[in-house]
Structure 1
Amino acid sequence: MADMSKLVDPHICPDCRASLDPTGTCTRCGLRLVGPAAAELWQRMQQADRLIEQLRAAPATAAPTAGPVVGAVVGAPPVGPMPRAATGDRTAPHRSLPSVSVPVVLLSLGALCLLVAAVVFVAVAWSSLGLTAKTTILLAVTALFGAGAVAVTRRDLRFAAETLWLVVSGLVAIDLGSAYGADLLGLGRLSDRDAVALVGATLLGLAVGAGAWATTTVLRRVHGLVVVAAIGIALLAGAEAWTSDHNPTAVALSVPLLAALALAIDRLTDGHLRSTAGVVGASVLVSWLVLVGNGADRMPTTSVRAWWLDLDGWPLLAAALLAALPAALPLAVPRTRSVLPEWVRMVAAGGSLVTLAMFGVGPGSGATADLLTWAAVSVLLAAVCATAPRVWAWPAAALTVLALVGWSAWALGRPLAVITRLPGTATDEGAHLGITLPAPTGGPAPWTAVVVALVVGAAAAALLRHLRPAAAREAAGRAWIALGPGVLALGATTWLLESRPTLLTAVLVWGATLAVTAAMATTVRHHDAPLAASLVFTAYLVATGLRLAVPSHLLSASSATVLALGFGVAYSRSGAALLRTALLPLLAGSAVLMAGLAGIHWPYLLHGRSDAAGLALAGVAAAALLLARAAGRGEASRVTIEVTALLAGLGATALTSEPTTAAMVLTVLGSAVAAVAILNVDREEASWIGVALLGVATVIRVIEDVRAPELYTLPAAAALIAAGWWRLQRDPGAASMRVLGSGLTLALVPSLLLALDEPVSLRGALVAAGGLVALAVGIARLWAGPFLAGALTTAALAVRHLGPVVDGLPRWISLGSVGLLLLLVGVTWEQRRRDVTVAGRYLAALR
């Protein structure tokens, strides 16, 4: 029997129990017992054999051991309680409430009822009792609940203890309030503030004493007493310090006293009441903030003389000193380093620096003086950031970052206060180079703009120390070098702008600032982050410089032209991999935009108006579209040029004042798009854009009844036809409909629409001649485009000539002609079928 129970047999397949061949393969199911999996299976089967032997060796009458019951069937899951849903027992009870919720709810309601009853008793029945009765009741009730709280604490009843200690604390507060109201024990002689402080001190003492005793019991902690301690310290500090009549002296004294109290609670209880000590420690922060608020309240109401000579701002100095103590104490007493974590010391150091900065700024004394004061404070913070130990340097770095952001925003926004006050548009005549810039009002002296730039540089330099990776520190240093001259030049330029120069002088100086910034950007062209920062600053200078030149068409046109040339040179000379290939498209699009802007302003110098400006912009856009393939350094740059040019051309329609001029703009732009589609195989799909633009232009001409569109449609059509002819000569496989369709449509349709009104006219004869020429070319060259264009044009004119004749014919002739035509079609069906087959082969040869 023992041998039959063996699962391991090297001659039998463990799956189907058939015999194995010498290679370890089953002769029936083909299972191959080779490899790590087979070895693991062998070990598992050996282990199963050992377990079976142990079961057989056990006596049959042995008592079952504790553990899960194993199912009788091999592989069956252990027997256990089935889920109620699976048993289908509909009478099973619903899930009961958590065991914790019942005592919590009952005890909370009981405590609330007791405290309400105590308050009601004091309010209603208190006045009818004598002094002895009052005292006896107060002491008896409070002592009774105190004894109960002690008893449940010793018996380790968590929720009962928490509840009763809260009840005892509430009764103590009610007792003291009642005693104060009834003048028991002379408490009535106290002021309201002192009475509140007495309640707070008593609650705090109760929380500390009861909490310390609870640590000696099995319960160990009573968390409700921490809440009592928080209420007590808030009442005590709030009455005697935070709202004291002796502010801010009492507040300043409360900071070290509360800190010492928190430390004493923690040390005397060996850390068992650390939560209570933490609550008291939190009140230290509140006192410190109140002290800072007291000092800040004095800033707008105190004179500069009283602030500095009489030290009216001493609360800020006191707050700075108190915050500096925990930050500097570990340097003098190394043992305290383990008590105060480094982050606590850093927060304290930051608070000290903030309050010192507030005291240094002091009350306002004028825009220029205030700016210089803030600048001095920022430079001192930067010095601490760059030279102080870590505990002080990191908070100073955070404040320096904020200062850098603020000063940078001021440096960039200060010129706008002058520039935005200039006229938003230029007059149509005159260069207006001698316009005087408006003077700023209510701000600091103009020369302080240079101070702002210097502070920005100092703050940025101080932060270099805190960049840990060497690569980041190097990149930041290069950015500082690249942007520093431009920022300093911006400060000097702002000084000039606020000194009321002429417009020409301001634009020239602003251009010099832009040139300095652009030149310094080339020094960091191989470092992405500094280059990106330089480009952002350059973009700001470009935008604001163009706005500065707006009052003069000459300055605007000249500035835009110089910028277009500059962007073009930078585009042609920049490396393809700069900013991960993103720089070239940016420069290309900028060059197109600046060229378009120059095209808008130059016509005004030639006594043109907005229509001329719109046509000039459309011309620039058309030129950019046609040159995009040759100028594009990569597909991204080419697409950027094309999209920018198309958008600029569409924007040109907004400049026109007449619909007919808008039609001319769309014709120029549509012709350029069509030419691009003709000349470039990879842009053939753009022909639909050209068709749409030319179609809209045609609709506008029809609506506006333009009588001579040939003045600009025929030159554009000739250029498109010439481009299509060139394409067909170079590319025999190109479809003539695609490459010649736009040119033929532009050449014939506008004139045809006018010729239909007057078919017997010179225009009608010329259109008919053009249609016949197109038809002849299509037949001779086997080009479908000219063939269809000529045929449709000729047919339209021929039908239009039949109009008067048809109107004069009797109705029976029309009906008879239709019937005769139908008969002829039916009789000659077979012949026409053969003719259609021949014509089909001919048309198939057309392309």
Structure 2
Amino acid sequence: MTTTPPPAEELRLIDAELRALDARRAQLLARRAWLTQVLWAARTPAAASPTRTAGAGGEASAPDVQNVLLLLGGLLLGIASLVFTVVAWGSMGIGGRALVLGALTVVVLASPAPLLRRGLRATAEAMAGLGMTLTVLDAYALHRAVWPEAPATAYAAGACALLAAVWAGYGLLSRELRGPWPAAVAVAQFALPSAASEGSGELFVAALLTTAALDTAAALWLRSTPVRWAAAVGACVQAVPAVPLALWLTASAGGPGDAVPAALLLAFAAVTAAVAAWRLREGGTATALAVVAGVLAVAAAGGPVRPLLTAVWAVPVYLAGALLLLGAVRTPLPAVLRRGALWASGGVQGVALLWALPLPLVALAEPVARPALVHEGPALLVLAVVAAVLLVAGRDEVWRARGRRGASVLGAAALYALPTVFELPHEAGAAVRVLVVAGALEVARRTAGRGAWTAVVVALVVSGGTAVSVMSGRLAPLVVLPVLIALFTAFSLARRPLARAGLPAALVHAALLVCSVAALRDWEASTAGAVLLAVPAAAALLAARPWTGPATVAVEVTGAAVGVCALLLTVLDPPVLAVALALAGVITGTTALRADRRPVGYASGALFLLAAWVRLAAWEVTAPEAYALPVAVPMLVLGVVRRRRDAAVPSWSAYAPGLAAGLLPSLLAAWADAHATRPLLLGLAALAVTVAGAVRRLQAPLVLGGAVLVLDALHELAPYLVQALGALPRWAPPAAAGLLLLLLGTTYERRLRDARRAREALRRMG
């Protein structure tokens, strides 16, 4: 025994069968058109053969040529009819006018029937289009001749409605024609808007929305594909201006009485979009229509309420409507409507959040500037409400986790802005913000993953703004900053993986505390910089502790940054700068004692050297040896140690840097020195280096010492050489140069052997 399916299932089956029939009908019509073209081509073989025999291929098929000719013919006939109606109309009597146009219209509209029986579909469609064009001219002619006093808009509305009915009836009589029904839908678009064009704005928008609703119904429930497409396009064309106009009417309403009609129009548009989404069920178009329906519903709900409040509360009113829209998610509505309600509510909340975001930004900038915001209270409410929604929203664990992260950020922003909105005393505001930091760190301690890092970022931002805001006070920084240091230190001890953010934050707040104390005590900048080096020292001690773990690099980088700032503060006071550089050298030197930080020793040496140079400059010492020897001696000591540990180290690597640093500055100074003391001492030192290189058979000391010794000797002989050259005749130097070249030429082979022997001797040295 067969059972009757439920009504919903039976309706679904019927819709599926109807769609299949539409698709089959479209296939059959396409096949019929192709067969018609084939038969037409078979009937005219002789017309095509001359073209082929001429040697040139046709650029258009016969049906294409036929369609173009028919289109041109219809256009020309239509233009001729228009000219006749406009120009020649006045020269004929009323009977003649009606007889000519009426007879022509009837003949043209009747011509498609015999043409269709002969299989000339394209010609029939062209004649039908021409006939419908003539009916438009008939309507125009009647207005000019019979009812010239009738209002143009009212007559146009009636004519469009009548033409739509006539063309629809014509389509019913000639079912094989495709043009009349879409044409009827197109001309019907102008009926209601034309009738309401001279009325109020609400009436005109109502006409547009009513036409769009009728088009939507036709696009969703009619079977003819061309008609459905025409209706869909018409619905879009009518809705595009109607919805913004309705929104503008709602926004510009002076009171609830003016806002209610506009709100009803928005509600009508929302229902139309919702019905269309429900009918389509699936796909991007259905979802988009559902979202539009949700947004329009929110606008319709908030429209009458908004005029009752001040302008700054408009956004919270619409936000309340968006929250009410969330209730549709828990109803038995179709899935597409529930999905659209969810996205529409989220979109409205996002816009409200963007509107409220300037409030926490203003609160952060409050220590520097205090821009005025007229919507501080409503913005604070929006932040709190959206945070609460995110806290309870989420369809699964992933979305719930995201919602909690967003709620923590927005909640912290709202609490941070709370003292600004209510103009709390400075100390009370600082206390509230410190509590926000403590709460964020506690959340980070109890959660894991992205939630923990989100809470840490919130704590860092809030603490930074709080620290900057309290530094302008006298006692507040001495209380707030130590509390923040303690909070971040305790948090880092409790959550070691997150210490890479907590410990640097504690160090930064410690640096701000030093700066605050310096400002309160009216210290000089150089003194503050020297004291500020206590923070890098603390960072070095923390980094050396085993429990620091993954935060070691972050702590060291933070300490280095604070150290650079401290040195910059002492630049204008050279004596204090020298002390600060020495202290920085001690800090980096202790860091270099760790096995994994040996390269930091180079920085320590550089800092000590800079400290010595700055001290010498402060003492106004100008002798280059005072600057060069502190560099040369340690480098030579290091070279000796390297050679003792590894005899294979070349002397150029071990001794050349130190010897160059010690000898070359003195050599440059000796050439510009008019006294004999420096050249004499430099010559003795270069001689000692040369002898040591010869005794130890080392290339670098031998070559560098010898070169400096020769150059120093030349400096001493230079005045005598100048005198000797001045006493010689002018032909003597060229002659001496020529004799030298002859001597070298005659002894070239022997000199070359001597040079090779010297090179081999140097090569055999270390």
TM-score interval, normalised by the smaller of the two chains:
0.5 to 0.7
Q: Deviations over 1:11-66 (max 9, x none)?
A: xxxxxxxxxxxxxxxxxxxxxxxxxxxxxxxxxxxxxxxxxxxxxxxxxxxxxxxx
Q: Secondary structure at the match of 2:72?
A: helix
Higher mean C-alpha displacement, 645-654 vs 511-520 = 645-654
Q: Secondary structure at the match of 1:464?
A: coil
Q: Which residue of 2 aligns with 1:115?
A: 78
Q: Which residue of 1 aligns with 2:247?
A: 296
Match of 1:172 among 125, 129, 135: 135
Match of 2:112 among 149, 155, 162: 149
Match of 1:810 among 713, 725, 729: 725
Deviation at 1:489, TM superposition (A): 3.7
Deviation at 1:754, TM superposition (A): 5.4
Amino acid at match of 1:758: D
Mark the CA change 1:314 to 1:568 in structure 2 (over 3 Å): closer, same or farther. same
Q: Which residue of 2 aligns with 1:758?
A: 673
Mark the CA change 1:669 to 1:266 in structure 2 (over 3 Å): closer, same or farther. same
Q: Which residue of 2 aligns with 1:66?
A: none
Deviation at 1:767, TM superposition (A): 7.4
Amino acid at match of 1:141: L
Q: Which residue of 1 aligns with 2:151?
A: 191
Deviation at 1:139, TM superposition (A): 1.0
- Kindly indicate whether the alpha-carbon contact (under 8 Å) linking 2:415 and 2:436 is maintained by their aligned counterparts in 1: no
Alignment of 1:552-571 (within 5 A): none
Q: Which residue of 1 aligns with 2:27?
A: none
Q: Secondary structure at the match of 1:121?
A: helix
Q: Which residue of 2 aligns with 1:426?
A: none
Q: Deviations over 1:429-481 (max 9, x none)?
A: xxxxxxxxx655342355x565233212133135412x5xx4x235325535x
Q: Which residue of 1 aligns with 2:320?
A: 376
Higher mean C-alpha displacement, 319-328 vs 257-266 = 257-266
Note the residue ranges of structure 1 that are not aligned, 5 or more in a row.
Answer: 1-88, 424-437
Q: Deviations over 1:107-129 (max 9, x none)?
A: 33222222222222222211111
Q: Which residue of 2 aligns with 1:209?
A: 169
Q: Deviations over 1:388-423 (max 9, x none)?
A: 854554223213333443454455531332544644
Higher mean C-alpha displacement, 555-564 vs 455-464 = 555-564
Match of 1:235 among 176, 190, 197: 190
Deviation at 1:504, TM superposition (A): 7.0
- Kindly indicate whether the alpha-carbon contact (under 8 Å) linking 1:203 and 1:229 is maintained by their aligned counterparts in 2: yes
Deviation at 1:145, TM superposition (A): 2.0
Alpha-carbon separation, structure 1, partners of 2:323 and 2:635: 66
- Kindly indicate whether the alpha-carbon contact (under 8 Å) linking 2:511 and 2:535 is maintained by their aligned counterparts in 1: yes
Amino acid at match of 1:810: L
- Kindly indicate whether the alpha-carbon contact (under 8 Å) linking 1:678 and 1:738 is maintained by their aligned counterparts in 2: no
Match of 2:270 among 279, 302, 323: 323
Higher mean C-alpha displacement, 505-514 vs 96-105 = 505-514
- Kindly indicate whether the alpha-carbon contact (under 8 Å) linking 1:592 and 1:645 is maintained by their aligned counterparts in 2: no
Alignment of 1:568-579 (within 5 A): none
- Kindly indicate whether the alpha-carbon contact (under 8 Å) linking 1:755 and 1:763 is maintained by their aligned counterparts in 2: yes
Q: Which residue of 1 aligns with 2:763?
A: 840
Deviation at 1:102, TM superposition (A): 2.0
Alignment of 1:826-837 (within 5 A): 829-837=752-760
- 2:415 corresponds to 1:492: yes
Alpha-carbon separation, structure 2, partners of 1:635 and 1:532: 15
Q: Which residue of 2 aligns with 1:475?
A: 401
Alpha-carbon separation, structure 1, partners of 2:327 and 2:108: 62
Per the normalisation by structure 2, the TM-score is: 0.68
Higher mean C-alpha displacement, 158-167 vs 378-387 = 378-387
Amino acid at match of 2:401: A
Q: Which residue of 2 aligns with 1:245?
A: 199
Alpha-carbon separation, structure 1, partners of 2:494 and 2:657: 37
Alignment of 1:605-624 (within 5 A): none
Alpha-carbon separation, structure 1, partners of 2:323 and 2:198: 37
Alpha-carbon separation, structure 2, partners of 1:834 and 1:351: 97
Q: Deviations over 1:612-652 (max 9, x none)?
A: 99999999999999999999999999699789969997999
Q: Which residue of 1 aligns with 2:260?
A: 313
- Kindly indicate whether the alpha-carbon contact (under 8 Å) linking 2:218 and 2:231 is maintained by their aligned counterparts in 1: no
- 2:346 corresponds to 1:401: yes
Mark the CA change 1:177 to 1:719 in structure 2 (over 3 Å): closer, same or farther. farther
User: How large is the RMSD of aligned CA atoms in angstroms?
Assistant: 6.4
Q: Which residue of 1 aligns with 2:144?
A: 181
| Count of residues in correspondence between the two structures | 696
Amino acid at match of 2:169: G
Alignment of 1:427-466 (within 5 A): 440-445=371-376, 448=378, 450-461=380-391, 463-465=393-395
- Kindly indicate whether the alpha-carbon contact (under 8 Å) linking 1:599 and 1:616 is maintained by their aligned counterparts in 2: yes
Deviation at 1:839, TM superposition (A): 1.5
Alpha-carbon separation, structure 1, partners of 2:54 and 2:586: 86
Q: Secondary structure at the match of 1:319?
A: helix
Alpha-carbon separation, structure 2, partners of 1:487 and 1:716: 57
Amino acid at match of 1:457: A
Alpha-carbon separation, structure 1, partners of 2:686 and 2:541: 29
Deviation at 1:807, TM superposition (A): 3.7
Alignment of 1:628-777 (within 5 A): 707=622, 756-758=671-673, 760=675
Q: Which residue of 2 aligns with 1:279?
A: 230
- Kindly indicate whether the alpha-carbon contact (under 8 Å) linking 1:251 and 1:291 is maintained by their aligned counterparts in 2: yes
Mark the CA change 1:755 to 1:494 in structure 2 (over 3 Å): closer, same or farther. farther
Q: Which residue of 2 aligns with 1:68?
A: none
Alpha-carbon separation, structure 1, partners of 2:577 and 2:126: 85
Note the residue ranges of structure 2 that are not aligned, 5 or more in a row.
Answer: 1-51
- Kindly indicate whether the alpha-carbon contact (under 8 Å) linking 1:197 and 1:240 is maintained by their aligned counterparts in 2: yes
Q: Secondary structure at the match of 2:100?
A: helix
Q: Secondary structure at the match of 2:375?
A: coil
Alpha-carbon separation, structure 1, partners of 2:117 and 2:621: 106
Q: Secondary structure at the match of 2:189?
A: helix
Alpha-carbon separation, structure 1, partners of 2:478 and 2:119: 89
- 2:148 corresponds to 1:200: no
Q: Secondary structure at the match of 2:303?
A: helix
- Kindly indicate whether the alpha-carbon contact (under 8 Å) linking 1:721 and 1:744 is maintained by their aligned counterparts in 2: yes
Q: Secondary structure at the match of 2:259?
A: coil
- Kindly indicate whether the alpha-carbon contact (under 8 Å) linking 1:400 and 1:459 is maintained by their aligned counterparts in 2: no
Mark the CA change 1:669 to 1:258 in structure 2 (over 3 Å): closer, same or farther. same
Alpha-carbon separation, structure 2, partners of 1:297 and 1:566: 52
Amino acid at match of 1:444: H
Match of 1:417 among 340, 348, 362: 362
- Kindly indicate whether the alpha-carbon contact (under 8 Å) linking 2:105 and 2:134 is maintained by their aligned counterparts in 1: yes
Q: Which residue of 2 aligns with 1:513?
A: 436
Q: Secondary structure at the match of 1:313?
A: helix
Deviation at 1:134, TM superposition (A): 0.9
Mark the CA change 1:719 to 1:141 in structure 2 (over 3 Å): closer, same or farther. farther
Mark the CA change 1:264 to 1:510 in structure 2 (over 3 Å): closer, same or farther. closer
Higher mean C-alpha displacement, 118-127 vs 279-288 = 279-288
Q: Which residue of 2 aligns with 1:17?
A: none
Mark the CA change 1:336 to 1:561 in structure 2 (over 3 Å): closer, same or farther. closer
Mark the CA change 1:549 to 1:143 in structure 2 (over 3 Å): closer, same or farther. farther
Mark the CA change 1:598 to 1:453 in structure 2 (over 3 Å): closer, same or farther. same
Identical-pair percentage: 22
Amino acid at match of 1:166: G
Higher mean C-alpha displacement, 800-809 vs 614-623 = 614-623
Mark the CA change 1:325 to 1:302 in structure 2 (over 3 Å): closer, same or farther. closer
